[in-house]
Amino acid sequence: MTLQARVLGYLALTAVVSCVLTVGVAVVLVRRHIESVRRVSLQTQANLAATIGGPPGALRAGNHVYRVGAAIPRRVRPVLARQILAQLPSGDGQGTVSVADRSLLWAARQTATGRIVLIRSARLAFGEWRSYLSSLLVAGLGGILIAIALSFLVARRLSRPIGALSDATRRVAAGEAGVAVPVRGDDELAGLGRSFNRMSAELGEAQRSQRRFLESVSHELKTPLTSIRGYAEALTEGAVEPAQGGRVIGDEADRLQRLVLDLLDLARLGRADFAVEHRPVDLAAVAAAAVTRHRPRARELGVTLSGDEDEPAWGIGDEGRLLQAASNLIENALRLTPAGGSVTVAARAGEIEVSDTGPGLEAEDLPHAFERFYLYNRYRSERAVGSGLGLALVKELTAAMGGEVRAAARPEGGARFTLTVPATAVRRRQRARTDASRPCA
């Protein structure tokens, strides 16, 4: 059974049940209204009879009991009249009385010549409300037909966008790109359609980004592998000196190792078991550790590596991940800075800054500096570059800690990278405790 048929069935069933209940309640209300009208009519007849002297034979003195409801009032038998009068209070009145297991409506009025009592059966005869019932049934059937027609229209309105969304979902699951559903209106179904279109667009962009990334990685893996194979063959044939070949193969192997490690780190960032702590960290200590780690490499390159860590600088983050990100920034700066240049690492509250005197970045490079392989593809023919993933890894690590990283060009030349994490007031609290613990003079 299709979705439209199910929705139509549910709506039609609801409409029919509602109409039946409505007609049933209307029948009860109509019966009560007719009963109330009968009581009022009986009282009106009693008032009229008392005014004009009553039916024929009621002008004599005494109590006169008449049955009404037919064409003309009829006097009841004396025995029944005595039974009725025995249960009625004296004077004017109206109500219900039970005589010989029969319920009767009565209305009594006092006249100058006697008392007139009108009675009629309390039970409502079918003929008295049959015409009303027919009208109610016709109205109910008309309501059911209208409800079914409206249910069909509503079912189409509900099922058509859901069917289109279901079909679009199957197309996306089959791998089709750029799938979108038409959106009309501003209700929940329209919101669902817009959400699907956003999801489809984001999924398509993710697939395109993944393809571009895989293509870039494939290219970057192929280049050093080709170089290693070429020099290995040259060494076998004796075309190059062993020392030269070994040095080139070692350099390309190092590049492959960096590339693979960066890829593994980036892959782990998307996994649930990649834990990142959020605790107070002394960024000055992190910067000092990163500087100490890279000083031997800086001496080999002839680059001055210095740190500015005079006092603690606190932030919220993961100490190990911050050290990894700062190390990537320093390694990138050392690779680009020529001999005789300098790399400076500074720490402030919530920030670690790495600046160098290298070739720097162009203004158009700054928005794309942390995209995978962007700077590598941009400058690999002009300067020494790394795996092409180091800065992307720094961005991912910083974002995982709730921070960000920015790139800027220094006015005096070179580049500046600033890693920012949420700041903390730990240092101020510690200073307050220190001041409180000092003895008073």
SS3 content of the chain, % helix, strand, coil (to 5): 60, 15, 25
> In the structure, how many helices (H) and strands (E) does the chain have?
10, 12
Beta-strand relationship, 351-356 and 314-317: unpaired
Average pLDDT, integer, range 237-244? 83
Report whether pLDDT(292) > 50. yes
The tens digit of pLDDT for each residue in 74-119 reads: 888 888 888 888 888 888 888 888 887 888 888 888 877 778 888 8
Contact 305/339 with Cβ under 8 angstroms? Answer: no
CATH for the stretch 279-427? 3.30.565.10
CATH 3.20.20.10 for domain 188-269: no
pLDDT tens figures, 362-420:
788 788 788 776 666 665 545 455 556 778 878 888 888 899 999 898 888 888 999 99
Beta bridge partners of 99: 102
Q: Is the pLDDT of residue 200 over 70?
A: yes
- 92 neighbors 152 (Cβ within 8 angstroms): no
Question: Is 353's pLDDT higher than 90?
Answer: yes
Token pair 């409505």: residue: 22
Give the mean pLDDT of 171-177: 79
CATH 3.30.565.10 in the chain: give the residue spans. Answer: 279-427
Task: Tell how far CA 157 is from the center of its chain.
Answer: 23
Share of the chain above pLDDT 90, in %: 10
Determine the average pLDDT of the residues in 163-186.
80
What's the confidence (pLDDT) of residue 428? 45
pLDDT score at 215: 58
pLDDT of 129 reads: 66
Q: What is the pTM of this model?
A: 0.46
DSSP track, 296-353: HHHHHHT-EEEEE-SS--EEEE-HHHHHHHHHHHHHHHHHHSPTT-EEEEEEETTEEE
CA angle 397, 400, 404 (to 5 degrees): 70
Q: Are 285 and 312 in contact (CB under 8 A)?
A: yes
Residue 221 burial (CB < 10 Å; 0-12/13-18/19+)? middle
Q: Give yes or no for residue 1 having a pLDDT over 70.
A: no
Q: What is the pLDDT of residue 418?
A: 93
Quick: pLDDT tens for 315-349: 999 888 898 889 888 988 888 888 999 999 999 99
Confidence of residue 304 (pLDDT cuts 50, 70, 90): very high
Residue 388 confidence (pLDDT): 60
At residue 255, the pLDDT reads 66
Q: How far is CA 244 from CA 207, 232, 235, 239, 250, in A?
A: 42, 11, 9, 11, 10
Instruction: Give the per-residue pLDDT at 420.
Output: 92
CA distance 172 to 180: 9
What is the number of residues in the chain?
A: 441
Chain CA centroid to CA 430, Å: 43
Average pLDDT over residues 269-274: 53
**Comma-separated ranges of CATH 1.10.287.130 domains in the chain:** 188-269
Give CA–CA dist 400/100, Å, rounded.
93
Q: What is the DSSP string of 198-232?
A: HHHHHHHHHHHHHHHHHHHHHHHHHHHHHHHHHHH
Q: What pLDDT does 416 receive? A: 92
- Interval 283-300 mean pLDDT: 88
